[in-house]
């Protein structure tokens, strides 16, 4: 009998074996030895063990950090402010969303169709499913149309605002392409004859600026301008007697060196910065000065600041303001300052520059600018009616026909807020004040004698579109409607609304600061996170709520960068015929400074407390709940957006961004 036949067919990597006898494979195709297999399994087990141990340690560290943050957080102040209608709305929305998620989880495990558009197509089995089908029917007939209408309205606003931003970017590109710049007349001033220079008053308003008062006074005193044609006013609103004496001594030391500098302190401190400036302008000697330069306490202009700004007024009698750009010494300090730098670079290089070049109008930034004294007086001077006195005086000057110039190439060093608490308070003031001003200025704008185009620009572009519509649609669309549509799939937002257009607009925002490109996604998420603060501020300013009148001086650190030291070294290396001015502190001054430092250390445990922001945390859990619902229906990009946006709110809510306090 013939032996059992054996047929082996090999095609590429496929092998077909027929037969019952043993088969001797070629040497190269032998299976791995047990020892090799053991080593492979041990290696994979080691990698898996390392990953899980790393993940466990990371989660443990994160939860420990959050637990510690909550235990040491100061929730009383934030909590009292959060008990408003917006916070109650977010909490109610969150509770409904959690209840809706539970219902949808039941529907998911019951294998009901979560995307069912026509609920009558479902075959009802049992009372629970009947309730679910009834909810679907009610949702389709009554809730979805309202959500669709609101979402379409917000999308229209979103597209209008995006178009406005795109036009601004095109205008900025045109300025760079055509190299459009404000030009100084060649014969503006005779450098050999100091008498041809106009009289300039430099004002430094400050309030409890212990960290930066010395460097700001020094920078102003080192301005390259004839000594007999300049006067520096130090407008101190500090309420600490020791700090007042330190500032007085600093002023005296510069005065002894021949600098025309005076110290002013108000006994009745009303009106915040506007009241301070108004009081200073009431001095009799102010009428002798043709121009007023304003520098906040943390601003350090280069010595040539006045020579780069004041000459623009020569031969231009309608020019009322010359505004310089801000530059930040701490822009790379942490993630918060990097994100702020993106925003402000776009504001100055695109918004301010384009509006200044094509409209001769923009909002005064409150500092690093030079005003014609006549323009201030004709516009009514500084008023204390809002928390944005700089925007107020700019609008009133524009209504009087004065023109503005923005100098993108002239930069003045300053600081960015390094803690989220300071940044949030600053943004609240910057977004509530314009709405106060809009209510007050609207009748004046309508009845003014400026052209219809300028009135339209002021009302619809300057105020409504950029100050009201932007925070409204950002919060409503991405923090309310988007999570709501996860439970109402009939009104689901298209992908281009939540992904393509926002990413493109964020890319445009980053163009003025190209080094910030790696922070594109964090910037997009953070801007949506800040929308709750901006929306709340906008509403409080529009309806004159109590929080709209808050004014808290932004905390300064007195931080200096390498560029500061280089600029200072250049200033010191310049040879002049005048005696070099050296700042100094007497022994009594050093004692006062030491005393202030000790007071700060004693109060540090009370002041330097991280906060827990309840509105942000509530929105974080709301978005994470919506992302869980999105995961059930496999929404894809919607899920990832909601997940990362929720995590962004969570980070901000626990105050884990910016300067970390002990």
Any long-range contacts for 450-454 (C-beta under 8 Å, 24+ apart)?
450/398, 450/399, 450/401, 454/359, 454/361, 454/398
Contacts of 252 (CB under 8 A, 6+ apart): 263
- What DSSP assignment string belongs to 200-261? EEEEEEESS-TTTHHHHHHHHHT-SS-GGGEEEEEEE----HHHHHHHHHHHHHHHHTT--E
217 located within any domain: yes
Q: Is the pLDDT of residue 568 over 90?
A: no
Q: What is the pLDDT at residue 5?
A: 46
657: helix, coil or strand?
coil
Backbone conformation region of residue 360, classed left if phi is above 0, alpha if psi is from -120 to 50, else beta: left
Report phi then psi at 169, rounded to 5: -65, -40
Q: Is the pLDDT of residue 409 over 60?
A: yes
Strand order of the β-sheet with 200-206 is: 261-265, 230-236, 200-206, 291-294, 369-372, 319-328, 403-414
270 located within any domain: yes
Tokens 């679907």 sit at which residue? 136
Average pLDDT over residues 212-240: 94
The model's confidence at residue 136, banded by pLDDT at 50, 70 and 90, is: confident
Q: What is the pLDDT at residue 32?
A: 55
241 located within any domain: yes
140 located within any domain: no
Q: What is the pLDDT at residue 193?
A: 74
549/653: higher pLDDT: 653
As a whole-number percent, the residues of the chain with pLDDT over 90 amount to 58
* Strand 261-265 versus strand 369-372 pairing type: unpaired
Measured between its terminal Cα atoms, the distance across the chain in Å is: 92
The model's confidence at residue 185, banded by pLDDT at 50, 70 and 90, is: confident
Q: Is the pLDDT of residue 586 over 80?
A: no
Q: Is the pLDDT of residue 25 over 90?
A: no
d(CA 227, CA 221): 10
424 located within any domain: no
Q: What is the pLDDT at residue 596?
A: 57
d(CA 263, CA 274): 17
Please count the other Cβ atoms lying within 10 Å of the Cβ belonging to residue 224.
15
pLDDT tens readout for residues 520-530:
999 999 999 99
Range of the domain at 226: 196-417
The model's confidence at residue 608, banded by pLDDT at 50, 70 and 90, is: low
Q: Is the pLDDT of residue 231 over 70?
A: yes
* DSSP 8-state assignment for residue 174: H
d(CA 376, CA 373): 5
| Beta strand ranges found along 298-363 (DSSP E) | 319-328
Give, for 230, the enclosing helix (H) or strand (E).
Answer: strand 230-236
- Residue whose C-alpha is closest to residue 254's, from 238, 278, 275, 230: 230
d(CA 139, CA 145): 9
Structure tokens at 212: 């930066």
Q: What is the pLDDT at residue 562?
A: 43
Q: Is the pLDDT of residue 569 over 90?
A: no
- Number of separate domains in the chain: 1
Q: What is the pLDDT at residue 6?
A: 44
The model's confidence at residue 563, banded by pLDDT at 50, 70 and 90, is: very low
Structure tokens at 112: 């009901």
Q: Is the pLDDT of residue 467 over 80?
A: yes
252 located within any domain: yes
Contacts of 398 (CB under 8 A, 6+ apart): 361, 404, 450, 454, 458
* DSSP 8-state assignment for residue 494: P
Rank 25-29, 94-98, 127-131, 173-177 by mean pLDDT and report only the highest: 173-177
pLDDT tens readout for residues 535-547:
999 999 988 876 6
Q: What is the pLDDT at residue 643?
A: 94
d(CA 24, CA 630): 55
Q: What is the pTM of this model?
A: 0.81
Q: Is the pLDDT of residue 600 over 60?
A: no
Average pLDDT over residues 180-185: 88
d(CA 201, CA 260): 10
Please count the other Cβ atoms lying within 10 Å of the Cβ belonging to residue 137.
14
660/228: higher pLDDT: 228
Rg (CA), the chain: 32
- Residue whose C-alpha is closest to residue 322's, from 402, 235, 217: 402
Structure tokens at 584: 């100094």
Q: Is the pLDDT of residue 464 over 80?
A: yes
- Residue 20 burial by CB count (10 A; 0-12/13-18/19+): exposed, middle or buried? exposed
Which residues are part of the catalytic machinery? 237, 390
d(CA 226, CA 219): 15
d(CA 151, CA 97): 18
Please count the other Cβ atoms lying within 10 Å of the Cβ belonging to residue 616.
25
CA distances 380 to 54, 281, 384, 448, Å, are: 64, 12, 12, 15
129 located within any domain: no
d(CA 321, CA 364): 8
């Amino acid at each position: 009998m013939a032996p059992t036949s054996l047929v082996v067919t090999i095609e590429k990597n496929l092998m077909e074996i027929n037969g019952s006898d043993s088969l001797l494979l070629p040497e190269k195709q032998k299976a791995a030895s047990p020892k090799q297999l053991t080593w492979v399994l041990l290696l994979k087990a080691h990698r898996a063990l390392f990953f899980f141990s790393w993940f466990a340690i990371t989660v443990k560290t994160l939860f420990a950090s959050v637990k510690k943050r909550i235990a040491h957080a100061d929730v009383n102040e934030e909590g009292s402010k959060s008990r408003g209608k917006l916070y109650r709305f977010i909490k109610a929305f969150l509770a409904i969303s959690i209840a809706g998620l539970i219902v949808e989880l039941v529907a998911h495990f019951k294998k009901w169709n979560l995307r069912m558009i026509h609920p009558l197509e479902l075959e009802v089995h049992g009372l629970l499913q009947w309730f679910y089908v009834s909810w679907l029917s009610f949702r389709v007939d009554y809730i979805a149309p309202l959500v669709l209408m609101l979402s379409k309205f917000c999308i229209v606003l979103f597209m209008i605002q995006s178009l406005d931003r795109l036009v601004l970017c095109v205008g900025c590109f045109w300025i760079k392409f055509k190299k459009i710049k404000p030009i100084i007349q060649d014969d503006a001033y005779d450098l050999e004859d100091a008498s041809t220079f106009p009289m300039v008053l430099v004002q430094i308003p400050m309030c409890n600026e212990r960290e930066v008062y010395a460097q700001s006074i020094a920078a102003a005193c080192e301005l390259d301008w004839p000594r007999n044609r300049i006067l520096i006013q130090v407008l101190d609103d500090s309420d600490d007697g020791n700090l007042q004496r330190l500032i007085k001594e600093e002023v005296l030391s510069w005065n002894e060196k021949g600098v025309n500098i005076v110290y002013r302190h108000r006994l009745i401190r009303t009106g915040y910065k506007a009241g301070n400036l108004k009081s200073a302008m009431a001095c009799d000697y102010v009428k002798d000065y043709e121009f007023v330069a304003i520098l906040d306490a943390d601003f350090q202009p280069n010595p040539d600041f006045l020579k780069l700004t004041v000459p623009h007024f020569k031969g231009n009698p309608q020019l009322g303001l010359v505004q310089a750009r801000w530059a930040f010494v701490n822009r790379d300090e942490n993630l918060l300052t990097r994100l702020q730098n993106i925003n402000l670079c776009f504001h100055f290089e695109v918004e301010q520059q384009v509006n200044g070049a094509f409209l001769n109008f923009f909002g005064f930034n409150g500092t690093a600018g030079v005003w014609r004294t006549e323009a201030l007086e004709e516009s009514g001077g500084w008023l204390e009616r809002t928390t944005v006195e700089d925007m107020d005086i700019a609008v009133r000057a524009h209504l009087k026909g004065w023109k503005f110039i923005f100098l993108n190439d002239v930069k003045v060093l300053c600081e960015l807020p390094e803690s989220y608490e300071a940044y949030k308070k600053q943004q609240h003031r910057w977004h509530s004040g314009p709405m106060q001003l809009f209510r007050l200025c609207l009748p004046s704008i309508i009845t003014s004698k400026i052209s219809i185009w300028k009135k339209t620009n002021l009302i619809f572009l300057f105020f409504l579109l950029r100050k009201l519509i932007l925070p409204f649609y950002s919060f409503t669309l991405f923090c309310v409607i988007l999570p709501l549509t996860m439970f109402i799939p009939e009104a689901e937002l298209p992908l281009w609304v939540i992904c393509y257009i926002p990413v493109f607009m964020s890319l445009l925002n980053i163009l003025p600061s190209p080094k910030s490109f790696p922070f594109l996604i964090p910037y997009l998420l953070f801007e949506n996170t800040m929308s709750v603060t901006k929306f709340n501020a906008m509403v409080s300013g529009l309806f004159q709520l109590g929080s709209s009148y808050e004014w808290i001086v932004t905390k300064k650190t007195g931080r200096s960068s390498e560029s500061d030291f280089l600029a200072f070294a250049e200033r010191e290396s310049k040879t002049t015929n005048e005696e070099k001015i050296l700042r100094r502190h007497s022994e009594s001054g050093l004692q006062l400074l030491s005393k202030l430092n000790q007071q700060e250390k004693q109060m540090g445990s009370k002041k330097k407390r991280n906060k827990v922001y309840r509105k942000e945390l509530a929105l974080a859990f709301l978005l994470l709940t919506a992302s869980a619902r999105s995961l059930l229906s496999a929404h894809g990009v919607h899920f990832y957006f909601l997940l990362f946006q929720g995590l962004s709110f969570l980070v901000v809510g626990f105050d884990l961004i910016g300067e970390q306090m002990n």
